[in-house]
C-alpha cells in the first residue's frame, strides 16, 4: 500500500532548532534521525515502503535529507580498504515521491494534489508524519478492509493532564476527573483511506473537518481505538521527551528494532 505523509506544515508550536527558523516539524530530530524517518520506518516494518511526501514549508530540508542520505548514521558497517560495507540498510528498498503541494495548503488540499500518484490504489495510508505509535498497523488495515467504509481513523484516549470539573448548584464542585479517564477519543493521526475520500474534500478543504466529517455523517467512517503507546510531537518539549526516550532505550514505536 502507498503511504501519503503530510510534511508541509510550519509547526508553529515547535521551536525551530535551525538558524532562520524554516525547519518543518517532520524534520525535527529524535535520536539519530528526523521524525519523518521514524514514521517511515514504522510503515516499512509492516511492508509498506512506497511513500508520497506532500511538501510545503521548508521543503528543501526534506529534499536535502533524502538526496544526501547517510546509511552509516543508523546502521552498522565495516570500513575496509577505504570502502564502506553496510551490514544493514534503512531505505534501500523504499520508493519516495517528493511532491510540492503548496506552501500553506490545508491537509485535504495536499492530499488532493497527490491524487494522480494514487491511481490504481483502491486503498492507501495517510499520516501527519509527526506522531509515533506501536499500534498494530496490519490489524488496523484488515479491520478496515473487511468493511465498505470510506475511511478509517485511529483514535486514542486524550493524553493531556487537564482535569474536568463538574459544577453543581451554587457553583460548588461536585467532582474532578482527569481528561484521560473520560470516555472520550481523539484523532490519532493514522488513516486508512479509500478513493471515496476525494469525493468529500473540496478545493482547499481539510482531510478531517471536511472529508472524514462528511463520511461520518453517512456512517462511513470507521474508528480504530488504540490504547497503547502513542506520542505526538506538536511542541518542542514533546519532541525533546521523545529524543530523551530514544537515548535511554525507551522507544516502543521502533518496532523494526525487534525484527533486527
d(CA 160, CA 179): 7
Query: Does residue 106 surpass a pLDDT of 80?
Result: yes
Report the 3 state secondary structure along the chain: CEEEEECCCCCCCCCCCCCCCCCCHHHCEECCEEHHHHHHHHHHHCCCCEEEEEECCCHHHHHHHHHCCCHHHCCCEEEECCEEEECCCCCCCCEEEEEECCCCCCHHHHHHHCHHHHCCCCEEEEECCCEEECCCHHHHHHHHHCCCCCEEEEEECCCCCCEEEEECHHHCEEEEEEHHHCCCCEEEEEEEEEHHHHHHCCCCCCHHHHHHHHHHHCCCEEEEECCCCEEECCCHHHHHHHHHHHHCCCCCCCHHHHHC
The pLDDT value given to residue 259: 60
Residue with cell 461536585: 174
pLDDT category at 181 given cuts 50, 70, 90 is confident
Tens digit of pLDDT for each residue in 34-84? 999 999 999 999 999 999 999 999 999 999 999 998 877 777 778 887 788
> Among 52-66, 179-193, 196-210, whose mean pLDDT is lowest?
179-193
Task: Give residue-wise pLDDT tens across range 94-105.
Answer: 999 999 999 999
* Region of 41 on the Ramachandran plot (φ > 0 left; ψ -120 to 50 alpha; else beta): alpha
pLDDT in tens, 13-33: 554 444 446 788 899 999 989
* C-alpha dist (Å) from residue 66 to 53, 59, 83, 122, 254: 11, 11, 21, 28, 20
pLDDT digits over 119-131, tens only? 999 999 999 999 9
Provide the pLDDT for residue 12. Answer: 58
Q: What confidence category does residue 1 fall into, taking pLDDT thresholds of 50, 70 and 90?
A: very high
- Residues 216-228 have pLDDT tens digits of 999 999 999 999 9
| β-pair type (151-156, 186-194) | antiparallel
CATH superfamily for domain 2-156+185-259: Spore Coat Polysaccharide Biosynthesis Protein SpsA; Chain A (3.90.550.10)
pLDDT in tens, 136-171: 999 999 999 999 999 999 999 887 767 778 888 777
Q: Where are the domains of the chain?
A: 2-156+185-259
Amino acid at each position: 500500500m502507498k503511504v501519503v505523509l503530510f510534511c508541509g506544515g510550519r509547526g508553529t508550536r515547535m521551536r525551530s532548532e535551525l538558524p532562520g527558523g524554516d525547519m518543518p516539524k517532520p524534520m525535527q530530530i529524535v535520536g539519530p534521525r528526523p521524525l519523518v524517518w521514524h514514521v517511515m520506518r514504522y510503515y516499512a516494518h509492516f511492508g509498506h515502503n512506497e511513500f508520497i511526501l506532500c511538501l510545503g514549508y521548508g521543503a528543501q530540508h526534506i529534499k536535502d535529507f533524502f538526496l544526501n542520505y547517510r546509511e552509516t548514521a543508523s546502521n552498522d558497517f565495516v570500513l575496509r580498504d577505504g570502502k564502506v560495507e553496510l551490514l544493514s540498510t534503512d531505505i534501500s528498498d523504499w520508493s519516495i515521491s517528493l511532491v510540492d503541494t503548496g506552501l500553506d495548503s490545508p491537509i485535504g488540499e495536499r492530499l488532493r494534489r497527490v491524487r494522480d500518484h494514487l491511481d490504481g490504489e483502491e486503498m492507501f495510508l495517510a499520516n501527519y508524519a509527526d506522531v509515533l505509535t506501536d499500534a498494530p498497523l496490519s490489524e488496523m488495515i484488515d479491520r478496515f478492509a473487511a468493511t465498505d467504509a470510506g475511511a478509517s481513523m485511529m483514535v486514542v484516549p486524550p493524553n493531556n493532564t487537564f482535569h474536568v470539573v463538574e459544577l453543581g448548584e451554587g457553583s460548588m464542585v461536585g467532582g474532578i476527573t482527569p481528561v484521560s479517564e473520560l470516555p472520550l477519543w481523539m484523532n490519532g493521526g493514522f488513516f486508512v483511506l479509500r478513493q471515496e475520500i476525494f469525493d468529500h474534500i473540496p478545493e482547499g478543504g481539510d482531510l478531517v473537518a471536511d472529508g472524514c466529517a462528511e463520511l461520518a455523517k453517512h456512517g462511513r467512517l470507521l474508528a480504530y481505538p488504540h490504547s497503547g503507546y502513542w506520542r505526538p510531537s506538536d511542541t518542542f518539549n514533546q519532541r525533546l521527551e521523545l529524543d530523551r526516550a530514544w537515548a535511554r532505550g525507551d522507544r516502543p514505536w521502533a518496532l523494526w528494532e525487534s525484527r533486527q
